[in-house]
Amino acid sequence: MSIIKRLSATITSNIDRVVGEIENHDAVIQATLAELRKKVAEAKVRLAHVRREEAKLKKQIQARYEDEQRWGERAVEAAKTDEGKALECVHRRQQCRRQARKLEQSQQHYQLIAEKLARDVAQGEERIAEMSQRHTLMRARQSTTEALNAVNEAGDNSLRQMEDSFDRWEIKITQEEMAVDCDEVIDPLDREFSNLENQHALRDELAALMAKE
């Protein structure tokens, strides 16, 4: 199992436990994502190094095969006049071929490593994208929930304030009404004139009745 895959598996298996133990879930997820990004970045650096080495080996392999061809041409030319020199050219040609094949083995090894690292990087980036998307969705849900709670709380406060305002208003009106009633009760002069006016009205109505008789 690759380094990135192992790290991803570990994060996946432990994330619920860690989140359950730590109150700040957002910070936990951000720290986890940062660690995963770091591992992916390290894998990318290693991948770039391996690919550079692989490219270097390809050039060396090509150079050895070109040397092989050149020593073969020299062997043919030397055989016309000097068999010993021609044999030495053939020997050099064989050395170039062996070196090229050995380099090819190394190049194949680097190629396998590069392919594996490339897969690890792709898997890591895919995992980061998934976790980042989920993180964004969770933060959006959290923000929505907090906003709704704030609205509800503000609404409750507003209702309470409105009820308090009605209560204070009603108390004020009641106090004013009581003050008016008290004024009417405690004003004897006004009561005396009212009684006299009522008596005059009664006498006038009585006189009107007697006049009709």
Residue-level pLDDT at 139: 80
Which pLDDT score is estimated for 88?
Answer: 93
pLDDT over 50 (residue 19) = no
pLDDT band at 1 (very low <50, low <70, confident <90, very high): low
Spell out the SS3 assignment of the chain: CCHHHHHHHHHHHHHHHHHHHCCCHHHHHHHHHHHHHHHHHHHHHHHHHHHHHHHHHHHHHHHHHHHHHHHHHHHHHHCCCCHHHHHHHHHHHHHHHHHHHHHHHHHHHHHHHHHHHHHHHHHHHHHHHHHHHHHHHHHHHHHHHHHHHHHHHHHHHHHHHHHHHHHHHHHHHHHHHHHHHHHHHHCHHHHHHHHHHHHHHHHHHHHHHHHHC
Tens digit of pLDDT for each residue in 131-181?
A: 888 888 888 887 787 777 766 665 566 667 777 787 888 888 887 777 655
Note the pLDDT tens digit of each residue in 176-211: 777 655 555 556 666 676 777 777 776 776 666 667
pLDDT greater at residue 53 or residue 21: 53
What residue segments make up the domains of the chain, in order of their start? Answer: 3-163, 165-212
Does pLDDT of 49 surpass 90? yes
Average pLDDT over residues 26-35: 85
pLDDT digits (tens, 9 = 90+) for 98-130: 999 999 999 999 999 999 999 999 999 998 888
